[in-house]
Amino acid sequence: MNARQVSTPGPDPYFPDHGDPRYRVHHYDLDLDYRPMSNRLSGTARISAQTGPAPLADIALDLAAFRIQRVLLDGRPVRYTHRAGKLRIRPAKGLAPDAAFTVEVRYSGNPRPVRSPWGGLGWEELTDGALVASQPVGAPSWYPCNDRPADKAAYRLAITTPSPYTAVTGGRLLARTTRASSTTWVYEQPAPTSPYLVTVSLGRYTAVPLTARDPSDGRPAPVPQTAYLPARLLPEFTEDFARQTRMMQYFEEVFGPYPFEEYTVVVADEELDVPVEAQGIATFGTNHVDGARTFERLIAHELAHQWFGNSVSLADWQHIWLNEGFAKYAEWLWSEHSGGRSAAAHAATAHHLLACLPQNLRPADPGRWLMFDDRLYERGGLTVHALRCALGDDAFFPMLRDWTSLHRHSVVTTTDFTTHTQHYATAPLDDLFDAWLRKPALPPLPLLPGWS
C-alpha cells in the first residue's frame, strides 16, 4: 500500500463540518507574505485536486474569516460565498466525475487561532514572531484547505517576511532570496501530508545542524536533522538534544526507515503548554529546554509521530489512539534502550495512575471531548505494551516495521491495525483488543515474560 490512499467516504464523525469527502487534493502551492509587527498575512493558494466518482456541483474549502480578493477555477473567475469558515465555490457547470481541477484563492487579513474546546488552534501570534499548531482543525486559520486528515497532499510553501526573521516549515528548503528588507523562504514537502500537519514558525532563530555526513566511513548517511532556536538557548539545547541522532537511529531499527527526507526541530521563543508535531518537524517551547534532559521523553514522543500519525495517518479522528498510543510507547522504548527505566516499569506506573482515575474512556472511540485526554495517551501506550507481551519481541518488532512500511504515506483505521497484528500472533487477539480498546474498564497490567 505504498501508493497514496484516496480519501475515505463520508465526513469525519468528530468534525463533520470540516473537510469535503467529495474530492481529494493532490497539491497545495502557497505563496504567503507575513508582517509580524502588524500580524498581517497575505496569501495566494493554488490547490490542485480531483473530483470523486460523483459529479461535483460545488467545491467547499475550509478557511477562516479572511478578506477574499479573488477566486479562480481553472484560471477563470468563479462565483463563491464565504461564511462560517467555509469558502464555497460554485462553477457555472458542475464538474464531471474523476475530473482534475485547480482552485486559486487570493486572500489577506490578520490570522488568529480557531476557537476550540482545547483553546486556540492554528496560527498563533507570538511576542516576536508566529507559529502554527493546528491539530486537529486549525489549518483553516491560515490557508484554504480540505481540512480532513485523510486528504493528504504534497505542498510547496513560499513565505516572505522581514529579513531578521527565519521562516521554518517541514520539508526541503529550496531557496532563500533576500530583496531590500524582506526574505523569501521556499520549501517543498513532496510526501503526502494532512492539512493539520503543515506548520510555519517565524522567529529570530539560529540554525544548528544536528547531523554530520561522512560518506568515507562506509555507513549510510544519517537522516539530515537541523534545529532552529534563539541563540541564547544554545548551551542548554546542546545538552538536551544531544541524543536525538541516536534516538533517530534506534527508531529506524524498531519502526523502520524514517519516512521523510529530513527532520527539523524548532524551539520557539515562547513558553508552550506542550510540544507540537507536524510533518517532518517538531516545535518546542523555551520551557522544554533546561540543559538537564528533563524533557527527553517529549523529544522521543514528537519524533515517533513522524512514523505514527504523520506517515501512517488517521482516516478520521476517532482513531487518534493510533497516533498517541505509539508515541507514548516510543517514550518507554527509548527509556529502556538508553539505560533508563524499562518499558515494563513505565507500563506499571501508567497502569497504577489509570487505576486511580475514572473508567469512562474507550480508546478506539473516545469521542470528541476526550480525544486529547491524558488517559488516552497512557491507555494507548498500555495497549501497545499488552500487544508486545502477547506477541513477544520476535514478532512484535517485525509487526511494527511491516505496519509502517505497508501503510507508508497512507491512512488507516483501528480495524486496519488489529487485522494487521493478527498475522503475527499464534492465537486470536480479539479479546485483547476488545478489553484494551473498546471497553472502558481498565484490564489487568500486562506483563512481559520474566517480569513480575
Q: Which residues are catalytic?
A: 302, 377
User: Is 271 within any annotated ligand binding site?
Assistant: no
Cell of 238: 546542546
Cell of 347: 507500563
What is the H or E stretch that residue 27 is in?
strand 23-35
Q: In what order do the strands lie in the sheet with 172-179?
A: 76-77, 67-73, 100-109, 40-51, 23-35, 153-162, 182-193, 172-179
User: Is 305 within any annotated ligand binding site?
Assistant: yes
User: Is 324 within any annotated ligand binding site?
Assistant: yes
Q: Which of 69, 59, 63 is nearest to 90 (CA)?
A: 59
Instruction: Return d(Cα 127, Cα 90) in angstroms, integer.
Output: 40
Residue 357 main-chain phi, psi, to 5 deg: -110, 165
Q: Which of 254, 276, 433, 263 is nearest to 332 (CA)?
A: 254
Amino acid at 369: W
Q: Which of 436, 321, 319 is nearest to 388 (CA)?
A: 436
**Three-state SS string across 109-150, please?**
ECCCCECCCCCCEEEEEECCEEEEECCCCCHHHCCCECCCCC
- Write down the number of H helices and E strands in the chain: 9, 22
Neighbour-count burial of 425, counting CB atoms closer than 10 A to its CB (0-12 exposed, 13-18 middle, 19+ buried): middle
Instruction: Return d(Cα 73, Cα 78) in angstroms, integer.
Output: 6
Annotated binding site for Zn(2+): 301, 305, 324
Annotated binding site: 301, 305, 324
